[in-house]
Amino acid sequence: MFKQYRRKVAIISTGIVLYEGLLTWVYPVIAKNPAISDIAQSLPSAVKTVFGVPAKARTDTFEAFISGQFFARIWVMLMAIYGIETANALLGRMVEDGSIAFLLSTPVSRSELISTQTAVLISTNAILVAAMIGGVYFGTFCAEIDIEHGRYVDLALLGLSFFSLIEIYSLFFSAWFAEEERALTYAMGLTLTFYGLDIVGGLSHKCSWLKNLSLFQWFQPQEVLEGTTDPLGPIIGFSVASVALWYFTKKVFEAKDLPI
């Protein structure tokens, strides 16, 4: 099953590494020009929120630069879309088009099958996250930028647990509906709702309570990279939620009527 996703994972990983390489390559030029930092500093907090930069965060560090340019928005959306699409392809699509019938006609239980699909999902997620670290380490080494390496590992673990939760709830919708389109719509809709709540909640104080309804409030790359927040709590929270939801997904799939 993993074999099927090798090419896709390799392409996305390469893209991540190249993009990070590009960012680390241009950063020294930007860092030497204080005007750019002044412009970033002068942006209204609402605009910063849209780009995933915390309102009171610094704008003159490499961490601020790479968070704003990649981790806070592009990386999140890339990984979320990959996770949702892959979870759906591994279960919802296979049930709907019937290709799971051959697999389920072997002496492998539904529980073992969904465990395998989850392992493919999480391991490809881990590879993409590892590519993120590899790209940053390689780029910063080549461009001679000093970074706190440990904090990138923290961010990777936070990303892994966060994206895993998105993947598991996408898998849950696939098991629940046993139908590709509805599962995809719900998973995508829920993720965009969380994302939208995070953005709208950051635009004004009046709406800030909306942030509390979003999973994204626990995923703040720049704060993790600058060491102003401890990601351990969210990592544990996302992981526990993923395991609990996965267990429930397994139970739903075991009892589901499959029209295959």
Partner 1 sequence: MIEVKELTKIYPEGRGIRDVSFQVNPGTAFGFLGPNGAGKTTTIRLFMGFLRPDSGRVTINEYDCWRDKTEVKKIVSYLPGELHFIENLTGVDFLDLIAGMHGDHCLHIKKYREYYVKAFDLDLKILIRKMSKGMKQKLGIIATLMLDASVLIFDEPTSGLDPLMQKVFIELILEEKQKGKTLFMSSHQFAEIERTCEQAGIIRDGKLLAVQSISLLREAEHQTFEIEVESETDAQLLKHSQLNITPLQERCFVIRIAGELETLWLALAKVRVKRFKQRSLELEEAFMDFYR
Residue numbers of the site for partner 1 (CB under 8 A)?
1, 3-4, 94, 97-99, 101-109, 255, 257-260
Report, in Å, the least distance between residue 256 CB and partner 1. Answer: 9
Nearest to 139 by CA among 69, 79, 83: 69
Q: Which amino acid is at 118?
A: T
Phi, psi of 206 (to 5 degrees): -60, -35
Report, in Å, the least distance between residue 206 CB and partner 1. Answer: 45
Ramachandran bin of 54, using left for φ above 0, alpha for ψ from -120 to 50, beta for the remaining angles: beta
Report, in Å, the least distance between residue 105 CB and partner 1. Answer: 4
Report, in Å, the least distance between residue 3 CB and partner 1. Answer: 7
The Cα–Cα gap between 94 and 100 comes to 5
Q: Which is closer to partner 1, CB of 42 or CB of 106?
A: 106
Helix runs in the chain, H state only: 2-31, 34-42, 45-50, 62-66, 76-87, 93-97, 100-104, 110-142, 149-177, 180-203, 221-226, 232-255
Report, in Å, the least distance between residue 259 CB and partner 1. Answer: 7
Report, in Å, the least distance between residue 11 CB and partner 1. Answer: 14
Place of tokens 């391991």: 123
Q: Which is closer to partner 1, CB of 73 or CB of 250?
A: 250
Q: Which is closer to partner 1, CB of 7 or CB of 206?
A: 7
The Cα–Cα gap between 233 and 230 comes to 7
Q: Which is closer to partner 1, CB of 109 or CB of 123?
A: 109
Q: Which is closer to partner 1, CB of 74 or CB of 104?
A: 104
Q: Which is closer to partner 1, CB of 101 or CB of 207?
A: 101
